[in-house]
Amino acid sequence: MKILVTGMGIVSSIGSNVEENFNSLKEGRSGIAIMSDIPNMRKSFLGGQVKMSNKELKNNLGIAENEKVHRSGLFGLMAAKEAWGEREHDLSIRTGIIFGTTVGGVDLSDELINEQLKNKKRAKIDFYKTHDSGFGTDFIAAKMGINEYKATISTACSTAANSIMLGARLIKANMLDRVLAGGAEALSNYTLNGFDSLMLYDTEKCKPFDENRKGLNLGEAGGFLVLENERAASLSGKEKLAELSGWANTCDSYHITASSPEGTGASLAIARALQMANLSVEAIDYINAHGTGTPNNDISEANALFSIFGKNMPPFSSTKSFTGHTLAAAGVVEAIYSVLAIRNNIIFPNLNFNKVMKEISLRPENKLIINRKIKNVISNSFGFGGNCTELIFSE
Amino acid sequence: MSIYIHKCNTISVFDSFEDGILAHIHEKGLRKLIEPDYKSIIPAAHLRRMSKVIRMGVAAALKTKTDYLTEGIIVGSGLGCFDNSAIFTKEYLIKREGLLSPTAFIQSTDNTIAGQIGLILKDNSYNITYLHKGIAFENALTDAILLAAENGKNVLLGAVDEKVELFDVKNEKSKYWLGEGASFFILSAQNQNALACIKSCTVISVAPDNITLEIKSFLARNSFKKPDLVLYGNSFLNEFSVPKYIDEIEVVDYSALCGVYFSNSAFGTQLAVEIIASGKYEGKEVKRILLVNNFFDKDFGIIYLTENQHE
């Protein structure tokens, strides 16, 4: 059974829809800049912010300003609407939604706890009802009119990739015909301080796979894919954008926040996804790498890639140099960029790359490549807890 | 798709960790979690850095995993490591200068529980975490049903939630009170030596007035026989009346036994498995159980279990 991608929606620091994101990628426009407008910041950081306030997002989405919704939920709804497009609900098409964030509405919790610390008052449970991870899924499901199946995944930085994978598995098992699958992540004081406490930041723009990389820049985004089986796709009459031909999820089981130096979990996941898609290493035309820019991730990932592809290494790049690391959303943001690479026969550059890592001679593409036939793309997503998820998109 | 349960372990307010819930169900509970000796289960180097919810989940998982080869670790939790998020938030809001300790931040990452289980077991297989309030266990169980059918192996599935003080709306008169617990299961698509069978797991999101009709339609659609017992629970602390889902069937409220917490339908599931494996409840023969998890009168988790024989 084929799993078809028939819709995509995205909001990120390089655009508020798919077309704007594509144009920024083509034109080499990064969204990373000094961040502003986040309450209670201890320091200033570089990152990829969506250039819309919550008020603007709510206005665009037709949501009352006083409705309690976290920023990740707003990104999610915006992307869901674009991905869904003009589609009609059809009772014969069993439809589900899978969404994820890493920290849910911690932007709201932050404000609330700050108030409490000032006023020495205990908050009521009601205030917290909109702060958990599942809230965003319920919110988007209700607005999109989906109530047959809903799930919320939380696997740190591979969350949205796992949402897409679960969507495909539910369709393959004939439990659903259509799934809106994705994730969202709003920048918050919480995650900024969290990654700061782990000392994972680059004070300059991140340089994935570069010898002199220092760390990551965070970013915010939301994205959704519409996955359909052939029956649902023919009923909805949407163009098939790509096929999701392979996937795998493994656990690195090396360290709770760091990747193994040799990339054990990642290479195992890539091998399994290739096997499932029934593709040889030579058939892969482009790899959208996880490439966060941290010293640990990039060497681990490079070793994993080399162990699988060796001399047949296809072109690869990390588009986090455009968007920053969008955590729970990264998997769907990069899935969309992978589909765009196939649709447009194009490879997006890895910005800010200058010098090959001394441990391993792998050079990401640092220039835009056009008119290159792209049939199969692998997208890598790794997360805390040792989570490694691979998605393969095919023409 | 059916899935068979081969083993389960629960940390609860009953002394259930060694020999299950049924053996202790008539003991006067103190509404306080009876925790196992974690040191004897979790390697010391890992245990030192673990918060309570991580300890509970990891201990229940390791105990359940003993003697079984598995492929796949699936964890569901209503709030995951929520308590640690509040700790880290306070830390950076109060400490405006200098370095922050990353411990609470790391422990607030919700998939730390599943990640730690994978790490301790040196297990490279499928690893995932669901976090969806009152239906987190149903999310996780649905994935386990898929995975067991896909890989033909044993799957390690569990759910865990700790008591978060913030949610403790005290009401002495109520039979409901805020609880916590961890329950893990070994499941597979093979029925040999299984304790019970899960025939279906779904979530119905409707108004409470319509749930009886929806359940009847669920049973009819799947050609399921009328259950011998209904296990009912609330996964949100409030006064929801226990409805009579199907005429003349006894309803046992498991949330009044284990306390109310988001993933308590995992406790209910272990109770159902034990009842089915023993073949009776309070002297009455039980072969089929319908488990109904009421989350906030909004989402209803529905699990239908039978004895270990195909019907």
B139-161 mean pLDDT: 98
In angstroms, the separation between the Cα of residue B274 and the nearest Cα of chain A is: 28
Average predicted confidence (pLDDT) for chain A: 95
pLDDT at A126: 67
What dihedral do alpha carbons B212, B213, B214, B215 form, nearest 10°? 50
pLDDT score for A164: 98
**DSSP string of B208-238, one letter each residue:** GGGHHHHHHHHHHHTTPPPPSEEEEEESSSS
The pLDDT score that the predictor gives to residue A214 is 97
Per-residue pLDDT reduced to its tens digit, A76-134: 999 999 999 999 899 999 999 999 999 888 888 888 888 878 877 666 666 677 788 89
Q: Which residues of B touch A257 (CB under 8 A)?
A: 106
B62 min Cα distance to partner chain A (Å): 15
- What value does the mean pLDDT take over residues A174-186? 98
From the candidates B92, B113, B122, which should be mutated to test the interface with A, based on the most A CB atoms within 10 A?
Answer: B92
Q: Calculate mean pLDDT across residues A26-51.
A: 93
Dihedral Cα B283, B288, B294, B298, nearest 10 deg: -150
Query: Do B124 and A268 count as a contact with CB atoms less than 8 A apart?
Result: yes
Rounded CA Rg of chain A: 20
CA atoms of A119 and B168, how far apart (whole Å)? 21
Say if the Cβ atoms of B88 and A190 lie within 8 Å.
Answer: yes
CB–CB of A157/B129 below 8 Å? no
A40, A120, A132, best to mutate vs chain B, most B CBs in 10 Å:
A132
Query: In this predicted structure, which of A36-50, B5-19, B116-130 has the lowest mean pLDDT?
Result: A36-50
Tally: H helices and E strands in chain A: 13, 15
Is A357:A300 a contact under the CB 8 Å cutoff?
no
What is the model's pLDDT at position A125?
63
Which of A42, A153, A251 has its CB closest to that of B118? A251
Please tell me the predicted confidence (pLDDT) of residue B310.
56
Q: What is the DSSP letter of A345?
A: T
CA-based diameter of chain B, in Å? 65
Q: Give me the pLDDT at residue A313, please.
A: 97
Rounded mean pLDDT of A356-376? Answer: 97
pLDDT of A192-226, one tens digit each? 999 999 999 999 999 999 999 999 999 999 999 99
Answer whether residue A153 shows pLDDT above 70. Answer: yes
CA nearest B1: which of B152, B205, B126, B132?
B152
Segment among A13-27, B13-27, B90-104 with least mean pLDDT: B90-104
Angle between helices A71-84 and A54-61 (to 10 degrees): 30
Position A62 pLDDT exceeds 90: yes
Confidence check: pLDDT of A149 > 90: yes
Report the alpha-carbon angle B120-B125-B131, nearest 5: 80
- Percent pLDDT > 70 in chain B is 99
* pLDDT tier, B172 (very low <50, low <70, confident <90, very high otherwise): confident
User: Which chain B residues touch A194 with a CB distance below 8 Å?
Assistant: 88, 102, 105, 108
Confidence (pLDDT) at A42: 87
Under an 8 A CB cutoff, do B142 and A197 touch? no
Average pLDDT, chain B: 93
Tell me the C-alpha distance between B20 and B162, whole Å: 20
pLDDT score for B243: 72
The residue that leads in pLDDT, A110 or B13, is: B13
Report the residue from B79, B122, B125 with minimal CB separation from A132: B79
Express each pLDDT in A246-268 by its tens digit: 999 999 999 999 999 999 999 99
Q: What is the ipTM of this complex?
A: 0.97
Is pLDDT at B311 greater than 60 in this prediction? no
- Contact across the interface for A253 and B132, Cβ inside 8 Å: no
Instruction: Tell me the per-residue pLDDT of B62-102, one tens digit each, with 9 for 90 and over.
Output: 999 999 999 999 999 998 998 888 889 989 988 888 889 99
> For residue B13, what is the DSSP state?
S
Give A254 to chain B, closest Cα distance, Å: 6
Cβ-Cβ contacts under 8 Å, B78 against chain A:
132, 134
| pLDDT given at position B42 | 98
Q: How confident is the model at residue A63 (pLDDT cuts 50, 70, 90)?
A: very high
CA distances from A291 to A154, A258, A296, A357, B25 (A): 20, 14, 10, 13, 52
| Nearest alpha carbon to residue B297 among B251, B235, B255 | B235
Instruction: Look up the pTM and report it.
Output: 0.97
The answer, yes or no, to whether residue B232 has pLDDT greater than 90, is yes
Q: What is the mean pLDDT of residues B25-48?
A: 93
What is the pLDDT averaged over residues A304-333?
Answer: 98
Of the given ranges (A54-68, A116-130, B212-226, B282-296), which has the lowest mean pLDDT? A116-130
The reply to whether residue B89 touches residue A149, judged by beta carbons under 8 angstroms, is no
Tokens read off for B232: 């009912």
B111: nearest CB among A132, A156, A193: A156
- Tell me, what's the pLDDT at B309? 74
